[in-house]
Structure 1
């Protein structure tokens, strides 16, 4: 498993505040179908099944934060980043499930109409 000192757990509220302040780059490591069905606004999709730390976008002065469904895959992606020599250590603890449990908004796909809509 992962040592606690190697992975920094961020709360949904911390991630939301940092997203609103444009202080983080949020990377969703769930698979494309999961991302298409529901996602956090502003997240970029880099699925764990094809995850390559070397192709992650430059974050500039922003903190790169990884996110998945529950926190397990994002922790795995952090481990891959660190093994590849990247100083990425932060993820959304509990993933999008914790985000939604905190009552924070997501973007969803309406399969009946084909439209994308915000879910509050």
Structure 2
């Protein structure tokens, strides 16, 4: 099995059509300050492929900050025999560059910005 890279807009379509689950492998502080709506947190520092919420009806897409850690998570899954091969190429940085929304916390005020709320 190899690494399958999705561009952010293709990943979003898979999420919106309920074809995939998005897994954020960044660390809790990164997730708390900004995240993609609906992403579940499974930090790479404590990553266990066996703990992932496998759904036989939906695929799984990993993402991180830039794509490096999510590619590592895919490799860890494959080494453990968990059939996951997909991540967002460029991570949340590419997601934002594509003009897609994130949930963010304003560090000055603590206010949450969620364009989907």
Match of 2:87 among 71, 74, 91: 91
Which has the higher mean CA deviation after the structures are superposed, 55-64 or 29-38? Answer: 55-64
Give the aligned partner of residue 38 of structure 2.
42
Structure 1 segments, 4+ long, off by >4 Å, are: none
CA displacement, residues 22-55 of structure 1 (integer Å, 9 cap, x when unaligned): 1110000000000111110000000000000011
- Is contact 1:108-1:119 (8 Å) kept? no
Distance of 1:43 and 1:59 partners within structure 2: 15
Unaligned ranges ≥5, structure 2 = none
TM-score normalised by L of structure 2: 0.93
3-state SS, counterpart of residue 18 of structure 1: helix
Superimposed CA distance per residue, residues 62-108 of structure 1 (whole angstroms, 9 cap, x where no aligned partner): 11000000000000000000000000000000000000000000000
Alignment of 1:68-79 (within 5 A): 68-79=64-75
Q: Distance in 2 between matches of 1:50 and 1:107?
A: 23
Ranges in structure 1 where 5+ consecutive residues have no aligned partner: none
Partners of 1:27 and 1:43 within 8 A in 2:
yes
Give the Cα separation in 2 of the matches to 1:38 and 1:85: 31
The CA distance in 2 between the partners of 1:9 and 1:58, in whole Å, is: 19
What number of residue pairs does the alignment pair up?
Answer: 116
